[in-house]
Chain A
Amino acid sequence: MHQDTETIALLQQGDKTALGILYDKYGAALFGVILRVVQSKELAEEVMQEAFLKIWRNAANYDESKGKFFTWALNIARNTAIDATRSSDFRKSQKTVDFDILVYCENHPATDLPVDGIGLREIVNKIDEKYRRVIDLAYFQGYTQTEIEQEMNIPIGTVKTRLRLAIKELRKVFQ
């Protein structure tokens, strides 16, 4: 993804069209993250709007010299989603929607990511489940070290090793 310098300059001047452009460009990736965190389509839609409202309100704080816009937006989306999982409403809904969300994700594959005609997600998902799981818990679910140790029943040393191997494997895929 190329730099979004001009679009962001417009955004920082309060141009709604600029936000629309960024939504079109990064919306699917951000919605995918949010969906993975909150595991509910209805809540994900709510969080998605909340995240873009934050991006809109805080646009002036974004500093391109510190990192890409996507990285910044991704952090806002992820944090907003993780915050949403703290509410008690979330606890109630989470039990019932797990299956729905799987079906929903299956019906909306990331077709716009061409890797020689094969879905990138399929390749990525071929990476050993135990490596991907550490990434999912840490990055998408916002788990702490302690929580991952408990959830997966592995010491922090192993968490480190697995994350490193997971990133290594992913690098191979994306090269």
Chain B
Amino acid sequence: MNLQGYISTGILELYVHGLATPEEIQEVEGLASEHPEIQQEIDSIRLTLERYVEAHSVPPPDGLKEKLLERLKDVPTGREKNDPDQPASNYPSRNFDWVPKEGSISGLATWLLGLALVAACVAVFLFWQQSQRAGKQAQAAQTQLEQLQKDCDSLRVKDNQVKEQFIAIRHWATKPVQMKGTALSGDAFAVVYWNSVRRTSYLDVVKLPEPAAGKQYQLWAIVEGKPTDMGVFDLSTAADGLQNVPFIENPQAFAVTLEPKGGSQSPTLDQMYVVGAVAKG
């Protein structure tokens, strides 16, 4: 066995300082009894440590010795061996793993700190998750709100239009001019609300047949026997209610003809679907 190598591991220092495990103690003491070299090294370490202890000597307070000797009166000296107070060995090893010293206290503190840290992380994550969720909800609510505002705006616009039309129709100067179906379509029917005071005209298409492909309906006013163009219209827009149409002075009649898409300069008379004369006065 390489004794020098064994000595240099530091195991003997552990032993003398009381840090060796029971197995190590057994090993060291076994080797020490076999090899004087090891025993010498142990003694040397112990002596060094004792010198270190002596270097930190503190004189006990005055009177303590007297107090001690006073107490000895009642205590018999231990002439008998194997007193329970006596350490089993002169150089016992101490391994108080169960003693609550600073080491284990700080171990507990570390553990608690770790626990607190984990709890904090979980809390932060939960808050983050919640805020994410809240953020998404807020965004959805915002989108919904914007949509509702748009809807509301368009309804308000429509509402105003309807109110305006209603006012126009109820106006005392408004003349409804009914246009009845011709031979082309007997049950066709439309009305022009004409108001010379407010100078407005509205077209109300009640019923007209669906136009053929590439064709569009065109409204005409007859002024002094001559047709005047009032524009083309689609049935889809006409279905929404009254449409604003140009105001024409002194109309004698109104008529709707079916024309090529985009309208014509003059009406195609054999394609007249409805017509109605303006009542005098």
Contacts and interface: CB of A to CB of B under 8 A. Distances in A.
Interface of A: 11-14, 16, 19-20, 23-24, 27-29, 31-33, 35-36, 41, 45, 48-49, 52-54, 56-63, 66-67, 70-72, 74-76, 79, 82, 85-86, 91, 104-105, 108, 110, 112-113, 120-121, 123-124, 135, 138-139, 141-148, 150-151, 159-161, 163-164, 166-167, 170-171, 174
B58 A110 contact: yes
B55 A82 contact: no
Contacts of B107: 150
B57 A167 contact: no
Contacts of B50: 29, 70-71, 74
A85, A121, A167, A171, most chain B CB atoms within 10 A: A167
Given A35-B58, A60-B78, A61-B81, A170 B86 contact: no
Given A86-B99, A121-B56, A56 B79 contact: no
B212 interface: no
Contacts of B91: 67, 71, 75
A124 B55 contact: yes
Interface of B: 8-11, 13-14, 17-19, 21, 44-46, 48-61, 64-65, 67-69, 71-72, 75-83, 85-87, 90-92, 94-97, 99-104, 106-107
B255 to A, nearest CB: 103
A75 B72 contact: no
Contacts of B10: 160-161, 163-164
Contacts, number: 210
A138 B19 contact: yes
A144 B19 contact: yes
A123 B98 CA distance: 36
Nearest to A53: B75
Contact of A61 (B11, B56, B78): B78
A132 to B, nearest CB: 9
B65 A27 contact: yes
A9 to B, nearest CB: 12
B84 to A, nearest CB: 10
A160 B56 contact: no
Contacts of B45: 167
Contact of B58 (A23, A62, A108, A124): A108
B19 A159 contact: yes
